[in-house]
């Protein structure tokens, strides 16, 4: 799956921001993204994975 690149500020979160919002560690959040449980919806211009609000809900339910 190819992920789009985002060039402007939106309501998207990096792995670290997502981890802070859910109370999980960045390592756990990254692992769940790697296995496909919480796929990123885009990439930043710097290559960071970006997630939307539904990722927060998915992480809290996994």
pLDDT for 19-58, tens place per residue? Answer: 999 999 999 999 999 999 999 999 999 999 999 999 999 9
Q: How many C-beta atoms surround the C-beta of residue 46 within 10 A?
A: 7
Q: What is the pLDDT of residue 10?
A: 60
Exposed (0-12), middle (13-18) or buried (19+): which is 43, by Cβ within 10 Å?
A: middle
Q: How far apart are CA 10 and CA 62, in angstroms?
A: 25
């Amino acid at each position: 799956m190819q992920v789009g690149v985002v060039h402007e500020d939106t309501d998207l979160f990096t792995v670290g921001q997502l981890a802070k919002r859910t109370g999980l560690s960045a390592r756990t959040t990254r692992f769940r993204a790697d296995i496909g449980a919480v796929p990123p919806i885009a990439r930043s211009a710097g290559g960071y994975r970006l997630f939307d609000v539904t990722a927060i809900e998915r992480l809290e339910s996994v």
